[in-house]
Structure 1
Amino acid sequence: MFRACLVALLFAGVSASAMAAAPAGGAAIATGLIAHRAVYDLELKDASERSGISGMSGRMVYEFDGNYCDGFRTNFRFVTKIETGDATRLSDQQTVTFENLKDGKFSFDTKSFTDEQLDKEVTGAAEDRPDGVRVDLQQPANKELQIGQTRFPTEHMLDVIRNAKEGKRFFEARVFDGSDDGDKAMATTTVVGRQEMPKTGEDDVKNVGQFANTAFWPVTISYFNENTKSDASPVYRMSFKLYENGITRDLTMDYGDFVLTGRLAKLELLDKNASSASCR
């Protein structure tokens, strides 16, 4: 699952315990994930007066491919037109990440544009070490950080899938995905509902193609700043329908002052196979 300023990184990952138990050298490591490109149409569901937002619409494109041995790559673009009554602005966020589960490494590059002008770039790399995760940040400032034990986004979302399969309905984790200024992890709580079959009339189920009659889990992930009190409201909350192969649909992104929905408009399965690889 990715979190880039306005949206969480949703998809794929494998738990550390599963990787520790994986056979070494030449064995096939299967994650069950499918390389794909998903396009979502975004609409404003609700906005408080405090937000100043009178309208918002846009599109999100998420492309995922790779495998456990070679690493997983995501390309993510999130474009919104935001209306504030007396003005309209175009927000465009472009993120590329690479996550090597085998070696515990993660790199990220996010460019944020407003009205086609570059506002900000966040670039860096992180590595999981015995004493915690070290982050080498190149943009917006050159610095090295130690942020303690945390999950990367691909790890975290396969933790979600693993827990869903095991019937575990609630769990917590720290997640680092390079969002905002790339200098901190977020505390998360995840709630997984019971597996369901699609119901007649669900808006975007037909766009899942061959998986239209496949079971999914309803999932909600809440993200918190680590220095907030335990009863604090989340920075944002994301709900979606998650398939075992990593595909998601029917998104709801709640940022407190406003709520966006994401309808799966198009799904394309890529030729690359993200589910397995032979490690040498």
Structure 2
Amino acid sequence: MATRNGLFWAFLGLLCLPATAQAVELASHRAAYRLSLAEGGDGAVTSVRGGLVMEWKKACDGWTSSQRLAFQAGQAEGPPFSYDVRFSSWESDTDDRLHFSMRSFDNGKPAEEFRGEASLPESGGDGRAEFSVPPGKSVALPAGTLFPTRHIKALIAAAERGESFVSVPVFDGSGLDALSNVSAVIGRNWPGEAGRPAAWTMNLAYHKFTDYSEEPEFQLSFRLRADGVTDDITLDYGQFVLHGTLDELEQLPAPTCD
């Protein structure tokens, strides 16, 4: 991946038009995945057992989401270790507000906690994320930044238009460094069939927003359905790679709104 400058990233952020992404209809659902160790990494991690649960639910004024990833891992050298991260958020229907909360645990002990709110101006200018935990911290959000639900909609909309590459700044609230340049390569597609929506392979590379080096900080790939459900997930942390297999999928009811 070539080194890029800030103006180029900002320009690419304009490729996903709000009106187009708003037309995407996501399904309220809860999905459970079984985690296992995949090929790749440096061999330091020898085994993994765990799971990932993700929930996306339509609310009357936006979308709520929650995720929990937990696993135990064995190492070639040293004792086994465990990791547990829990994330929840609310994102407005207008794509301009995000409330977020994240807690992580290493070997059962609290490790990190982040909470706060982020906003983007309707005019499309710069926004800001304000943290209540840790207090007094904030992150500037450049024009064109997307929040997670809006980003998923943008990827689906781009895939439906037949595009193969989307790159935008994304803020998900997972920490003080949660603003990333996210480059998505859209690959193979499965046309929709009776009772089954269309789907596409997505390969995402996450770079720190201020770092334009060729090597991403994190890589993620999955098959994304037109209704927002994902399966066949691969999480590449560099030192080790995890694979998530969809075990259970539950459709959640639509909200009752006045």
Percent identity reads 29
Superposed CA deviations along residues 93-138 of structure 1, whole A, max 9, x for unmatched, are: 1111110031610011001112322111111110002431111111
Corresponding position of 2:140: 146
Given the alignment, which residue of 56, 73, 86 partners 1:82? 73
Pairing 1:17–2:18 present: yes
SS in 2 for 1:54: strand
Pairing 1:52–2:44 present: yes
- Check conservation: 2:177, 2:208, Cα contact below 8 A: no
CA distance in 2, matches of 1:218, 1:48: 22
Amino acid at match of 1:185: L
Question: Offset at 1:227?
Answer: 2.7
Amino acid at match of 1:224: H
- Structure 2 unmatched ranges of 5 or more: 1-15
Pairing 1:270–2:242 present: no
Question: Offset at 1:17?
Answer: 2.4
CA distance in 1, matches of 2:55, 2:41: 32
Indicate how the Cα distance of structure 1 residues 118 and 61 shifts in structure 2: closer, same or farther if over 3 A, else same: same
- Check conservation: 2:24, 2:156, Cα contact below 8 A: no
Note the 1:122-137 alignment, pairs <5 A: 122-129=114-121, 130=123, 131-137=125-131
Pairing 1:192–2:186 present: yes
- Check conservation: 2:58, 2:64, Cα contact below 8 A: yes
Indicate how the Cα distance of structure 1 residues 34 and 48 shifts in structure 2: closer, same or farther if over 3 A, else same: closer
- Structure 1 unmatched ranges of 5 or more: 1-14, 23-29, 199-209
CA distance in 2, matches of 1:55, 1:99: 36
Given the alignment, which residue of 94, 115, 130 partners 2:86? 94
Pairing 1:251–2:242 present: no
Amino acid at match of 2:211: T
Corresponding position of 1:240: 222
CA distance in 2, matches of 1:223, 1:48: 17
Question: Offset at 1:88?
Answer: 1.6
Question: Offset at 1:143?
Answer: 2.3
- The count of corresponding residues between Structure 1 and Structure 2 is 238
Given the alignment, which residue of 172, 175, 178 partners 1:177? 172
Superposed CA deviations along residues 209-250 of structure 1, whole A, max 9, x for unmatched, are: x95x543111111111123335x1111111111111111111
Corresponding position of 2:163: 168
CA distance in 1, matches of 2:197, 2:120: 35
Amino acid at match of 1:94: R
SS in 2 for 1:154: helix
Moved >6 Å (runs of 4+): none
CA distance in 2, matches of 1:157, 1:189: 13
Superposed CA deviations along residues 46-77 of structure 1, whole A, max 9, x for unmatched, are: 3544x63222221000111015x511000111
Note the 1:101-120 alignment, pairs <5 A: 101-102=93-94, 104-120=96-112
SS in 1 for 2:156: helix
SS in 1 for 2:150: helix
Given the alignment, which residue of 40, 47, 61 partners 1:70? 61
In the superposition, the TM-score normalised over structure 1's length comes to 0.77
Corresponding position of 1:217: 200
CA distance in 1, matches of 2:133, 2:197: 42
CA distance in 1, matches of 2:198, 2:177: 37
Indicate how the Cα distance of structure 1 residues 239 and 217 shifts in structure 2: closer, same or farther if over 3 A, else same: same
- Check conservation: 2:30, 2:56, Cα contact below 8 A: yes
- Check conservation: 2:84, 2:106, Cα contact below 8 A: yes
SS in 1 for 2:38: strand
